[in-house]
Structure 1
Amino acid sequence: MGGVVMVEIPENEDGLTALVLRTKTGVYGWLNACPHDGRRLCQDPVYLLNRKTGHMQCMHHQATFDPESGVCDDGPCEGDTLREINTIETDGQIIVLL
């Protein structure tokens, strides 16, 4: 699995960001907001991925999310899904569609 990049979302009053990551199956984008309470999953994307499982982990309640489906598989929001941010990859460039 590749690293995670945090992307600023322009013109939003809430200071929302997107998280973009690459896995073996593709590139995925997720809103950096936990469905449990709306707070950021992470402040620094370096700490988003659980090293043992490879899943994304919320810094507040340790809920874990599948990086490819965005589904919470453990924690207070189990079964809920992160909000997807559309991405495309063309000529080695990742484009985030906001």
Structure 2
Amino acid sequence: MLCFEHAFHIVPPHSLEQVKRLCRRGVVMEVHWEHREYTADSHLVARYESYQALDSEKPIQQNGWSKFVHDGRLIDRGHFIVSGSSTNMLDEA
């Protein structure tokens, strides 16, 4: 199972809090997450939006994330590297 702290490179003593998760099931199963990163003294550092979508009819998987600083500016984005079912983020849904 993929660990969001590892994927987003959260370093101690910072913490990551999941604040939202939305799931949609059907031919394409989608999960969207929102996380917030805080310092040890509870100051907001960044907000992360991530998603994963799996098509049940085709071997297609889409996933990615975006990082926003505390004022809402996008500062980074990327894709999760998924190498098998053991790293399937939908397992965390």
Query: Greater CA radius of gyration, 1 or 2?
Result: 2
Higher strand share: 2
Bin the TM-score by the shorter chain. Answer: 0.3 to 0.5
TM-score (norm: length of structure 2): 0.34
Flag the structure with higher helix content.
2
